[in-house]
Structure 1
Amino acid sequence: MSKVILITGGSSGIGKSIGEFLTENGFIVYGTSRNPQNYTESKFSILRLDVKNTDSIQEAVKIIIEKEGRLDVLVNNAGAGITGAIEEIPEADIKANFDTNFFGPINVIKAVLPHMRSQRAGLIINITSIAGYMGLPYRGIYSASKGALELLTEAFRMELKDFNITMTNIAPGDFATNIAAGRYHAPLLEESPYKKPYGNTLRLMNAHVTSGSDPILMAKAVLKVIHTKNPKVHYKVGEFMQKFSIVLKRILPDKVYEKMLMNHYKL
């Protein structure tokens, strides 16, 4: 029997690639978007869902259960980028980012768990970020929200063990998607003391996304995890140096690692 997959944020970027690849491999896939009417040509079903709206989450899960009778895999992919000097990002925008990147995934998880528990089986894959393993300059809020989701997964795994439900993280590096276009950018203020370093860092970040890896690598990683009997806690997908930067953070003294990051961002 084909497994039923729910992918949040499945209308573009990494989520779309995952959805198309899993559909091609025989899975029953449901993606989500806040505006599903804009994706009538999608190769898989797109449901209305806003991760910041618990009613829309419950309704989307209800539709899947009514149609398929089960839900085997959740891919928590919906997310939002945010950049800027932490001092200058309005509190409302910081909270909005955490609502999407952290609280949203929690609410989707809460919505699917009762169904997976009744099935005595389920897999939840949280799409985090390599940026969540380190505090990056002018991406500190994004790093914090994704890092929080990484840690949440570690705790959740132990709580869910008795129900035969597995949770794991897949942390992508830079991929060629439209995330830069949809990312919240704190404005480059002329009078800001951060104007020059933030502007330089922002250009470097956007260049990395533009020249990033093909999202199909993430789709293949998700498929591999689905076929893995006992998934690991953490997976990383991306360029070698991006993944190796996590290793370096473990082994280098804090100040040496900090200096390495500052050199990379020319700060």
Structure 2
Amino acid sequence: MPKTVLITGGSSGIGKAIGEYLVNLSNPSPKDGYQVFGTSRNPEKYKDSAFPLLKMDVNSTESIEAAISEILKKVEKIDVVINNAGVGITGPIEETPEAEIKKAFDTNFHGPINVIKAVLPQMRKQGFGHILNITSIAGYMGLPYRGIYSASKAALEIAIEAMRMETLQFGIKMTNIAPGDFATNIAAGRYHAPILENSPYKKDYGNTLKTMNEHVDNGNNPLEMAKVVHKIIGTTNPKIHYKVGSSLQKFSIILKRMLPDKVYERMLLRHYGLK
């Protein structure tokens, strides 16, 4: 019997790559493969999707519950949920509008938590389930001009550590997967605080923004993430945290643990050309 997989934010980027990879693995033997459902705020825009896209806005609990209810009308169980929907945000924190900060946390933190809350009753009834959360290597450190994004992903990492322990008794697994830079359209969909002519951050923010966009453009193929997710889904006892990215990006987390704070800070400043 195929595993039912729900992927939020399945219309593009990493979510789309994961869904297509799992669908391709299911051909020509869907019996032992995956039945994939993705979500999008505007599924009608993606009629060529390789798997069904349901309408869902992770900022709306009614929308989340409606999508899950629709899935359960078609199948008897939900084996895997992949919380992938998210937004990027850049800018000096001082100049980032409060409304945009809240919007980023609503999508990157409250959204996944609300999806988990909505699916837990079904997984508890089943006695099994696996929830994977796509976080970010950026969530392991405060990055200049990306502080709000880093904070929203860090919050999700920590909350899931707690929820994992709370739900183990029900046979439910939770896993965080932190990607580095991948070649997706996330940069185009980010909220960028405008570079203001009279801003004291104008030069540094402008240069850092250019560097960040170059990192995404030159990032790894999202297929790498899809393969890792597939491997984790098939793991009997998955780890709590996985990091997927370049050796340098993963090593940066190790360095943060090892180096004195100010030494690590100077390293980041040099990396972004800020000192």
TM-score range, shorter chain: over 0.9
Match of 1:183 among 186, 190, 197: 190
- AA paired with 2:234? H
Instruction: Output the TM-score relative to the length of structure 1.
Output: 0.99
Q: Which residue of 2 aligns with 1:91?
A: 98
Q: How does 1:1-267 map to 2 (within 5 A)?
A: 1-26=1-26, 27-267=34-274
Q: 1:24 Cα shift?
A: 1.2
Number of equivalences: 267
Distance 1:4 1:243 in 2: 31
Q: 1:57 Cα shift?
A: 0.3
The one-character-per-residue Cα deviations of 1:137-160 (angstroms, maximum 9, x if unpaired) are 000000000000110111011000
The one-character-per-residue Cα deviations of 1:166-208 (angstroms, maximum 9, x if unpaired) are 0010000000000000000000000000000000000000000
Q: Which residue of 1 aligns with 2:31?
A: none
Q: Tell me which stretches of 4 or more aligned residues in structure 1 moved more than 2 Å.
A: none
SS in 1 for 2:221: coil
The one-character-per-residue Cα deviations of 1:110-129 (angstroms, maximum 9, x if unpaired) are 01000000000000000000
Q: Percent identity?
A: 67
How much is the aligned-residue C-alpha RMSD, in angstroms?
A: 0.4
SS in 1 for 2:6: strand
Distance 1:242 1:5 in 2: 29
SS in 2 for 1:42: coil
Give 5+ residue unaligned stretches, structure 1. Answer: none
Instruction: Output the TM-score relative to the length of structure 2.
Output: 0.97
- AA paired with 1:109? I
- AA paired with 1:47? L
Distance 1:66 1:93 in 2: 36
Distance 2:19 2:140 in 1: 26
SS in 1 for 2:176: strand
Distance 2:169 2:246 in 1: 36
Distance 1:262 1:188 in 2: 19
Q: 1:22 Cα shift?
A: 0.8
Q: 1:69 Cα shift?
A: 1.2
Q: 1:37 Cα shift?
A: 0.5
Q: 1:25 Cα shift?
A: 1.6
